[in-house]
Structure 1
Amino acid sequence: MTAYNKDGIDYMFHCRTRQVLAAFVLFLLLTIPVLAEPIYEHSELQWLAPGLTLETIQRYLPDGWQEIYVLSARLDLPWIRADALLGDDVLTSPQSLVDMAQEAKAAAAINGDFFFIQGTKAPVGLTIAGGEVIKGPSPRYPRPTIAFQGDRASIGLWSIRGQITGGGRSYPLYGYNEGILPDDGIVLYDHRWGTAAPGGPVEVVIAAGKVKEVRVQGPPAPILPETLVLTGKGDGARFLAGLRVGQEIELSWEFTPPLTGIQAGVTGYPLLIEEGQPTGEEPAFLKGRHPRTAVGLDRSGKILTMVVVDGRSPFSRGMTLAELTDFLLERDVWTALNLDGGGSSTLVARRPGEAEASLINRPPGGVRPVPNSLALFLPAPREEIGRLHLETCYPREELGDPYRLREEKVPVALGGSRSFKAAGLDPFGNPLPLRPGDLTWSVIPEGAGYFREPGVFVGQRPGSALIEAACETEKGRVRAFLPVSIRGPAVRLTVEPRGISLIPGGKAPIQVTAWDGEGYPALLEAGDYRWESDLGRIEDGVFIAGGQVGGGTLQVSFADLTLAVPVSIGEHLLSLAAFAPSEGWKAEGYPSGMEAAVFYGSPVESSPGEGRSVALSYAFIDSYPTRAAYLLPAQPILLPPHTLELGLWVWGDGSGNWLRGQIRDGSGIARPVDFAQRVDWTGWRWVTASIPGDLQPPLSLERIYLVTIRPEERTAGTLYLAGLSAIHGAPAPAGPRTEAPPLRSGEEDQGGFRFLIFGDSKLEVGVESSNRRIFRRLIAQAREEGADFALITGDVVAFPEDRHFRSAKRELSVLRMDYYVAPGNHDIGLDGEGTFRHHFGPTYQSFTYQDSLFILLNTARGGIALSDPSQWAWLKEQLASSDARNVFIVMHRPPFDPRPGENQGFLDRREGALFNELLIQHREKTGQQIWVIAGHIHTFWTEMRSGIRHLISAGGGAALHVPEEAGGFHHYVLVHVGPDGVGYEVKKVQP
């Protein structure tokens, strides 16, 4: 979270949240013409300079998430200037947008035009940079261009017409620095194209207005700053072949309309909005949902909107062109143009306090080099400090509850510390250096805590507070504020990872979190806790294994709490692949068409490992900057738990190329790993690739690949691979909790009411299994509790068939009380909702009993939206319209899985975090007590999370998932609701 100060104390950081879950204070209802109405929308508006802002928008729709980034700039302000950038300052050398912007010292930039990705790499259309036409419009692909002139911009269509005269003859000029040489055409190239012309049947080199050289069927002509090259084909080639060295050449061309006074221009396609109306254009090659980049202008042409939409990832599904158009229309854009999207969609910006622009969005597959971009510059001279930028030293998402979507206040443990940093800015957003003595630190109100050292705050009193950083300038005092939440006294600790498994000398980041009695967490900084271990040490929050092999614990202490973390130091090798033909390995080249092949064999009589090897041959002969040869298994290879490294025997060819692998984790995130930065050896060598410690298991290996990112290098060869293995540590034991779940909470009041919770029996008709025996005992025992009704967390039956439901209902009739069932995945199967409804009623429903609201949701298919997205709006309505004291929400699949390394919660973890965030916000607004009751994971478990009681009861007869000491026993839960609160008692059922 970031905050800014202007003229005292008002925030320059703006946060807006918009949800169909309108119980939130900040949630607004949004109507979108084409897009499905969002379940949730949150935006953060960040000031970059006067008249320049960056907005980050996160949306959750019934069919997935969207992450959208919007730069908004006022072109009529003299300190904001737009210009085009070129990769390495030429048209045919694509470059990372990050490098492009940093080298040019741009404040922000987005990728630009489509380009010939498998050919010349040049952009397709008109490019103007620094007031100079770098490339003419394409005659073959006439496309709109956004052009900047004076204090405004416009989007229009330009064309080129030219003529070449020499030797008493004339011929039409087809194009200028054009990527396509047509039949019978002539194209003019200068040094802004690149170091050499693209080549053609006949080329003429011109210097000082005269023919310097005529080249027929030769290699591409080099281009120097003082030379031009004419390239011809067909009749154009014959015209050029008739020219003689020394002849004077006259070149003339004109653009329609004229380009006089235009400072910058970048081309795109198609035009999305014209005079406030959607054009409806959607070329076939742009159909579907993908990452997108677009620019738009208001009616005056003075307000520029630059949009990048992420896609092709679990974080963002992308947009269709129609969705992109509607998004721009929402923002009152009068005219808009689509730019290159897909893997090219990139946005960089210089965030407040940063010296240079950095990557803002998350391009799929990493940052793709692009030939041109549209950049914004802040040419104002630096002045004295006018603002302060204040932020935490740790990423915000690591500080609090990982199962919350976001927390507006920075969490601080009582007695723990939080480190902050401040940066000075002049009135135009330029970063200015600050010395430690320039700042004073304080907290409002006094007594909430103190600063142990400059910028390091220690919480002393639970509640909300403001951190203030201030400095004195010639014009007065400049201040910035950041809100914090100081937690209550810590009642438990957690450590991630819950178990440490390393090879000797290995390293693992350690995160220690203190939880207060209401379940609100706060990350402890390394200086807050004490530690003790004979197997290693902690430095700056990183556990470093010693040289001793064995097992033991790491003792972590904070306040009066101590937690023992299992530690295992050792090394184990597991073969992952034999590289046999039966395993179905295949090869692919990148870009498409790049040569890559696989065959089985060895360069010598035998191979290391299991004696087999596979060969990956490649030919990186194209000049595209990134070229790769992929070796792909038939199916991704699942890695064993606690994999620390991958090992591989490689017969090197001395090519100097980069050898990598790609790992995908349990959340769908792909991450490259490095076997060797350069294959600069020949013969066999054992290489290893370290596995990042922040990946969510289970992990799988998707590919091994050779890659080069140097366009000047052209290599071809063969690598032999053998003995692919996983290097993993001994498993470090860790259950779903470090202590047994509490079986009782609260004393039962006089009055009120009682209800039962149980689930996951998975009954089958005609099968006298242990499931049925245990379930009958549970029903008989629970009937004697005198409860008012029962809540069943799903999976009553094993298969969604009438006969199983009828049999289960006969068993349940013994309860002699009303019961309500949340559907489980076994209850509905592939298409069994109708059968479920026939026997148990709606798949989601609610009822009120005395002073409590009960909501049953359908999460059987892996989440709320996956099961039935209409539940989100209904859930919001139920919460907003209820004044009940208590709210109990019942479902089958829980929002998150409490077991380490498992994911039987919502399949979309961010939906689970969104659900939790809704309830936390609702509780903080209304004061209602909220319980989330689930099944699916065959255990008993409960925990307070940020003020919400989460409880899993799934011990109704089916086989158990965890050991008994961690909650793995058959049971039901008796809940008592009284005037003084809600309590529960777990009743075990003997198998």
Structure 2
Amino acid sequence: MRPLAPTLALTVALLVTAGPSAADVPPPPPTAVTLAPGGIPPSQQEANGYDFTAGGEALSTVATQDVAPGLELTNFQRLEDTGWNRGNVLTADLSEPTLSMDVRNTGKVAGIGTLSSQMAGTGAVAGINAGFYDINASGAPVGLAKSRDGLQNARFGSDPTLSMAGARAAIGELTSGGTVTVDGTEHDLAGFNTPSLPAGGIGVYTQAWGDYTLDRPVGGPGNVSPEVARASVVDGVVTAVDDEAGAPAVPDGGQVLLAREAGAEIVGSLEVGDRVDVAVGLDEDADWAVSGNVQLVVDGQVGPGIGDDGVHSRTAVGLNRDGTKLIALALDGQTAASRGMTRGELARFMLSLGAYQALNLDGGGSTTMAARVAGDVSPRIVDTPSDGSEREVSNSLLFFSSAEPTGVATGAQVRPATNRAGAYRVLQGQRRTLFGSGLDAAYAAVEQPGRFRTQDPDVRIVDTDHDRATAVGRRTGSADVVYTADRHRATMPLTVLGPLDRLAVDRSQLAIEQPGEAATIQITGYDADGRPAPIEPTEVTVDADAGVEVTRDGANGFVVRPTMESGAAVIDFTVGDHHVTSTVLVGSEQHTLADFTDGASWKVETARATATVVPVSGGGHDGGDALRLRHDFTTSTGTRGVYAVPPAGLTVPGSPLSLSLWVKGDASGIWPRIQIRSGDGTVSNLDGDLVTWEGWQQVTYPIPPGTAMPIRVDKIRFLETRPDVSYRGDLTISDLVANVAPDAPPTQTEPVHDPVILTEGTVDERPQRIAVMSDGQFVARNPDSDLVRHVRETLREIVAARPDHLIIDGDLVDEASPADIALAKRILDEEVGDQVPYTYVPGNHEVMGGPISNFKAVFGPTHTAFRLGATQVITLNSSSGTLHGNDDGKAQLTELESQLTAAAADPAVTGVVIAMHHPIDDPLPDKASQLSDRIEARQLEDRLGRFRTSSGKSVAVINGHVGVFHGSSAQGVSMLVNGNSGKNPAGTVTGGGFRGWTMVGIDPSAGVVGSDPGPGARLRWLRAETRPAVDTVSIGAPESLAAGSAVTLEATFAQGTATVPVAWPVTADWGGDGVVVGERGHGVVRLDPVTRKLTALRPGTATVTLVVNGVKSEQTVTVRR
């Protein structure tokens, strides 16, 4: 080891004041990949050279944006073997001379602040949290930190460290050390501004330490060493000596020597006037340095002995082999959208990103990343901190750009003024506000008057004003909008969708607990193909009940502020002929979930600990009953926990805003959490503040907005995550309460009747036909049941219709026993045989009472792919309720992506049909029958939409499971739900609740629709007709009508004891003598098959006929003058 370089410039990092904001700049549209496509321009949907699917990951989405010269931000989300992960990567080219880095803190070593606050005023363009710190006490870093202004703190010895000297960075063991010389004798120092001194150690503290008591380094607060000495030193001369640590009181320009045990004898022997020499430093030159706890990657290999501390959010840094490229990662964790990683997984991930060396920094709730992306003026948090907001941390690693000139335009930008996802789309006839400005050399926005224009007829530019303009979508297609400022030019893509077909609100029910609070609402429009685009507030008419005030929020949406103390109000948003409503709930009521009078029936569970839970009569905060939890956290250094478990889950009524629990604390710093199961089945935790108090205090557990209701409380949890803390704890809890929003009438949503299901007509003339049946759910112990009879009748109808293929879309059997599977095979052999080729797709009932191996032994693979002429058919296994929770994990999803890639490239394929049992979205209000992993659902929808856009080829999804017939569209993809073919339906007769099957008709020649398909293109390729099981059909019409009059026909069919209206999604065939169906032709009467409106045209007699799945009814109508 080289001699330690003396460092006496012991100062805090200087803060550089940024210049004034150069432009009134709206925040850019997000790069959050869960919101793609359309949220960011296509040019930014790139991976920056990273391969986020190198390990077989599926449904990956990625986007990259410039931050400054030499610095780029890439965010991603992907499905791994263990679940979803989402993160952000800063990639720094260290050879870029205008890019620099530094380690910064709050201005005090023993002080904490958010990453945003540490960046404020420094001019930094990006940053991440850095070192581990004394989280529950001083807040000082526990390792090494050196800024460009000098050493900030160190625990002397060797630490795995990221450092930089010149234009190269290094990761490896870096040794820090120091000495104090007294009367010619050198004594080793144990640390510099460190929060913990070892027994017998001597430390040196400067004013940079801050105000936190020096009792902490010598064992405080609870175990201060009895042998302590301190000496104040100025200019190498002792000015004071004391035998207590206490307040820092560091003299100006001086230091404090603090020591314990053997070190205290040395420091305690000093006298005022004695000379001492202090030297501290590093064994290698470094402009700056910050330590982590584990080197994840060493020389291109996973580091040895990295250990496992569980699954968490992660902050890590990596370097390429020559140290000229730095990779900084902030990985989200502890949420459904992002699981996090273990250290081993993190090491392998850093390797996959190209790291030759990599270091683990402070993760968990500390993980935070911020960046000022190109075209913005200030940094913004780009990750999702697992605490729900930024945690205050000890220090940070910041990135700076010195590119010149600053504040002077060297380029230009143009983008939407709204920061909503989908901002680069606009519906035909709707408006998109645009923003343009200059960009300086560091890519920051600067004010630069310019001109907006486009040469594409699909878009018209209106209302230009300084740095803003409005683009109006004129017709479906793509256009480039150009902004020219001085000599600088920028181009923005804008996609025009079809006309507005329906509206949606992001929050149909909005809960505001306190009257003084405010909340936002955003409106989205959809075209007839289910493609979304933000609706700007200027396009919306608002009608709000008394009690709330609604104002515009720029180009993004609306701000809602209650003017009443409590109650409910309805807001109606209207655009043209379309409207949508949102209910605002103000205030809350308290509902007691547990008063612990049943405390004896509560049980205890533990993790790496022992514990007891006992009832305490009269021991509550107000004299009521309580539970006492005593736990031993001394037997492990891993995450430990004690959980109080109720005898049954506690269902929370209504729409709770938060839960509250009284906790009698022991000041241990334990972490209180409540485990809940939300209405969609997701298990998650609500977090409270660390228990740093003694005595009674009420803990509030906020419930995140968007949590599916109702929720159920499963466990009251207390956890210890600090490996260096060991103790026996004693807590008492009482009165678990839910703060519930007031009741309000449900809002009405207009049903969407997608024309992918024919209301009138047939698909018989289409070149390709696929029959679909599902949900028989019979059992072998009752082989002659009505369910079996219904399935046999359905199969006979299908065979008689002679389709090209039959898809059995899951749940043919009920309990999946070998006997059930054998009966299914026998029925198919007897009713279908080789008359129609078929594919059996497993549903949840194919594993309900037996393993999937029972199915595979008879019917083969659970997911398949085959060609049907020019149509690629892909079947998927959703038997677990997800596409990645089955016997082969995410393999079928990676295969799906490969098949889509191949289909896009194959000129012989014009379209893709995907069949799986569970739909992406359940059309019924309870949403109980859709893919249970909602991240998977949205990513799959996104992937299929991007396939259609990028390949120009059609795609559709066919499902079962729900128990109703339904059709919809999303991102231009038709979605069909087949109803039950055997068991009774789940929905109402007016909502598709009838038995039957579906015939899908495809015209392969219409499958290639191009990158900008107009409305209706998907229907020319694929439509479907429902084939209900029909006993009789009836028409209700008057015997005579006066010419020019009109009447709405009553049309129904009987199915057992049910009477079903002949209306969407029932497919019927209307006709007859003297009857004109639709708008064209001449006859006695005209019939609109959608509305069933019958108009008398001229005198005469007409016979109206109605056929539903081969069953016919007639009605004679006489038209008189």
TM-score tier after normalising by the smaller chain length: 0.7 to 0.9
Corresponding letter in the other structure for 1:308: A
Label 1:283 to 1:445 Cα distance change in 2 as closer, same or farther (>3 A).
same
What is the CA-CA distance between 1:932 and the residue it aligns to?
0.8
From 872, 888, 893, the counterpart of 1:872: 893
Counterpart for residue 21 of structure 2: none
Q: TM-score, normalised by structure 1?
A: 0.80
Counterpart for residue 961 of structure 1: 986
- Structure with max Cα Rg: 2
From 106, 130, 136, the counterpart of 2:124: 106
- Aligned mates of 2:983, 2:883 — CA distance in 1: 24
- 8 Å Cα contact 2:477/2:496 also seen in 1: yes
1:156-195 aligned within 5 A: 156-160=172-176, 162-166=178-182, 171-195=187-211
What is the CA-CA distance between 1:860 and the residue it aligns to?
1.1
What is the CA-CA distance between 1:320 and the residue it aligns to?
4.6
Q: Deviations over 1:227-273 (max 9, x none)?
A: 4222333332222333333333333456434x4xx331112243344
Task: Please tell me whether residue 282 in structure 1 is matched to residue 305 in structure 2.
Answer: yes
Task: Please tell me whether residue 837 in structure 1 is matched to residue 856 in structure 2.
Answer: yes
Q: Deviations over 1:681-710 (max 9, x none)?
A: x9999x999866544444456899999xxx
Label 1:269 to 1:485 Cα distance change in 2 as closer, same or farther (>3 A).
same
Task: Please tell me whether residue 292 in structure 1 is matched to residue 314 in structure 2.
Answer: yes
Three-state SS of the structure 1 residue aligned to 2:77 is strand
What is the CA-CA distance between 1:532 and the residue it aligns to?
4.9
1:794-813 aligned within 5 A: 794-812=810-828, 813=830
What is the CA-CA distance between 1:115 and the residue it aligns to?
3.0
Three-state SS of the structure 2 residue aligned to 1:148 is strand
Corresponding letter in the other structure for 1:107: V
- Aligned mates of 1:99, 1:504 — CA distance in 2: 27
Higher RCO (CA < 8 A, seq sep 6+) = 1
Label 1:127 to 1:737 Cα distance change in 2 as closer, same or farther (>3 A).
same
Task: Please tell me whether residue 266 in structure 1 is matched to residue 290 in structure 2.
Answer: yes
Three-state SS of the structure 1 residue aligned to 2:117 is helix
- Aligned mates of 2:334, 2:750 — CA distance in 1: 33
502-511 or 334-343: which moved more? 502-511
Counterpart for residue 576 of structure 1: 593
Three-state SS of the structure 1 residue aligned to 2:943 is helix
Label 1:496 to 1:80 Cα distance change in 2 as closer, same or farther (>3 A).
closer
- 8 Å Cα contact 1:108/1:350 also seen in 2: yes
- Aligned mates of 2:248, 2:588 — CA distance in 1: 58
Corresponding letter in the other structure for 2:852: E
What is the CA-CA distance between 1:950 and the residue it aligns to?
0.5
Label 1:856 to 1:562 Cα distance change in 2 as closer, same or farther (>3 A).
same
- 8 Å Cα contact 1:38/1:61 also seen in 2: yes
Q: Deviations over 1:318-351 (max 9, x none)?
A: 3454554454445554544332333333222223
- 8 Å Cα contact 1:2/1:390 also seen in 2: no
- 8 Å Cα contact 2:787/2:982 also seen in 1: yes
From 132, 140, 143, the counterpart of 2:150: 132
What is the CA-CA distance between 1:858 and the residue it aligns to?
1.0
From 757, 767, 770, the counterpart of 1:752: 767
Corresponding letter in the other structure for 2:471: F
Corresponding letter in the other structure for 1:871: Q
Counterpart for residue 404 of structure 1: none
What is the CA-CA distance between 1:110 and the residue it aligns to?
1.8
What is the CA-CA distance between 1:934 and the residue it aligns to?
0.7
CA RMSD between the two structures:
4.9
What is the CA-CA distance between 1:732 and the residue it aligns to?
1.0
739-748 or 944-953: which moved more? 739-748
- 8 Å Cα contact 1:204/1:211 also seen in 2: no
Three-state SS of the structure 2 residue aligned to 1:293 is strand
What is the CA-CA distance between 1:953 and the residue it aligns to?
1.0
Counterpart for residue 207 of structure 1: 233
1:733-882 aligned within 5 A: 737=751, 742=757, 744=759, 747-748=762-763, 750=765, 752-767=767-782, 771-772=787-788, 774-779=790-795, 781-782=797-798, 784-812=800-828, 813-815=830-832, 817-818=835-836, 819-829=838-848, 832-867=851-886, 868=888, 869-879=890-900, 880-881=902-903
659-668 or 229-238: which moved more? 659-668
Q: Deviations over 1:84-113 (max 9, x none)?
A: 112x32222232222112253422222222
Counterpart for residue 411 of structure 2: 387
Counterpart for residue 362 of structure 1: 384
- Aligned mates of 2:826, 2:865 — CA distance in 1: 24
Counterpart for residue 8 of structure 2: none
- Aligned mates of 1:684, 1:144 — CA distance in 2: 41
- Aligned mates of 1:562, 1:965 — CA distance in 2: 22
- Aligned mates of 1:928, 1:237 — CA distance in 2: 79
What is the CA-CA distance between 1:825 and the residue it aligns to?
1.2
Label 1:536 to 1:526 Cα distance change in 2 as closer, same or farther (>3 A).
farther
Identity %: 26
Corresponding letter in the other structure for 1:378: S
Q: Deviations over 1:640-697 (max 9, x none)?
A: 67516458698999x9x9999998754859797999xx99xx9999x99986654444
- Aligned mates of 1:70, 1:28 — CA distance in 2: 10
966-975 or 694-703: which moved more? 694-703
Q: What are the ranges of 5 or more consecutive residues in structure 2 without an aligned counterpart?
A: 1-27, 32-39, 219-224, 553-557, 632-640, 720-729, 1006-1019, 1030-1054, 1057-1121
- 8 Å Cα contact 1:571/1:730 also seen in 2: no
Q: Deviations over 1:330-383 (max 9, x none)?
A: 555454433233333322222334443322222322433322222122345634
Q: Deviations over 1:196-217 (max 9, x none)?
A: 4234522122233333333335
1:548-563 aligned within 5 A: 556-561=573-578
- Aligned mates of 1:351, 1:496 — CA distance in 2: 26
Corresponding letter in the other structure for 1:958: K
Three-state SS of the structure 1 residue aligned to 2:263 is helix
What is the CA-CA distance between 1:167 and the residue it aligns to?
5.6
Three-state SS of the structure 2 residue aligned to 1:904 is coil
- 8 Å Cα contact 1:649/1:724 also seen in 2: no
Aligned residue pairs, count: 924
1:576-595 aligned within 5 A: 576-582=593-599
Label 1:553 to 1:52 Cα distance change in 2 as closer, same or farther (>3 A).
closer
Q: Deviations over 1:5-25 (max 9, x none)?
A: xxxxxx99853557xxxxxxx
1:59-98 aligned within 5 A: 59-86=78-105, 88-98=106-116
Three-state SS of the structure 1 residue aligned to 2:741 is strand
What is the CA-CA distance between 1:220 and the residue it aligns to?
5.8
Label 1:247 to 1:752 Cα distance change in 2 as closer, same or farther (>3 A).
closer
Counterpart for residue 46 of structure 1: 65
Counterpart for residue 888 of structure 1: 913
Task: Please tell me whether residue 237 in structure 1 is matched to residue 264 in structure 2.
Answer: yes
Label 1:325 to 1:567 Cα distance change in 2 as closer, same or farther (>3 A).
closer
- Aligned mates of 1:769, 1:575 — CA distance in 2: 48
Corresponding letter in the other structure for 1:441: F
1:679-694 aligned within 5 A: 694=706
Label 1:798 to 1:645 Cα distance change in 2 as closer, same or farther (>3 A).
same
From 972, 977, 991, the counterpart of 1:947: 972
What is the CA-CA distance between 1:77 and the residue it aligns to?
4.1
Counterpart for residue 531 of structure 2: 520
- Aligned mates of 2:288, 2:505 — CA distance in 1: 53
Label 1:586 to 1:188 Cα distance change in 2 as closer, same or farther (>3 A).
farther
Task: Please tell me whether residue 153 in structure 1 is matched to residue 177 in structure 2.
Answer: no
Three-state SS of the structure 2 residue aligned to 1:910 is helix
Three-state SS of the structure 2 residue aligned to 1:862 is coil
Task: Please tell me whether residue 643 in structure 1 is matched to residue 655 in structure 2.
Answer: yes
Corresponding letter in the other structure for 1:267: S
Label 1:954 to 1:151 Cα distance change in 2 as closer, same or farther (>3 A).
same
Three-state SS of the structure 2 residue aligned to 1:413 is strand
Corresponding letter in the other structure for 1:450: I
What is the CA-CA distance between 1:844 and the residue it aligns to?
1.6
Three-state SS of the structure 2 residue aligned to 1:284 is coil
- Aligned mates of 1:919, 1:184 — CA distance in 2: 65
Corresponding letter in the other structure for 1:457: A
